[in-house]
Amino acid sequence: MSLFISFEGPDGSGKTTQARLLEGWLRQQGYEVVLTREPGGTAIGEQIRQVLHDRRNIEMDARAEVLLYSAARAQLVAQCIRPALEAGYIVISDRYADSTLAYQGYGRGLELDILRAITDFATGGLWPDLTFYLDVTPEEGLHRRRSAGGEWNRLDAEAMDFHHKVRAGYLALAEGDPGRWVIIEATQPVAGVQEQIRRVVAGRLGR
Residues that bind ligand TYD (CB under 6 A): 11, 15-16, 38-39, 69, 95, 99-100, 103-104, 151, 153, 155
Nearer to ligand TYD, 69 or 170 (CB): 69
- Exposure of 21 in the CB half-sphere (CA atoms within 13 A): 16
CB of 104 to ligand TYD, least distance (A): 6
Nearer to ligand TYD, 60 or 183 (CB): 60
CB of 204 to ligand TYD, least distance (A): 23
CB of 71 to ligand TYD, least distance (A): 11
Say how far apart CA 177 and CA 180 lie, in whole Å.
6
CB of 14 to ligand TYD, least distance (A): 9
Nearer to ligand TYD, 176 or 206 (CB): 176
CB 32 within 8 A of CB 92: no
Burial of 160 (0-12, 13-18, 19+ CB in 10 A): exposed
Distances (CA, A) of 124 to 24, 38, 73, 118, 121: 29, 17, 11, 10, 5
Nearer to ligand TYD, 108 or 198 (CB): 108
Nearer to ligand TYD, 45 or 194 (CB): 45
Sequence-distant (6+) residues with CB within 8 A of 97 are: 73, 119, 122, 123, 127
Q: Which residue is nearest to ligand TYD (CB)?
A: 103
CB of 1 to ligand TYD, least distance (A): 26
3-state secondary structure of 8: strand
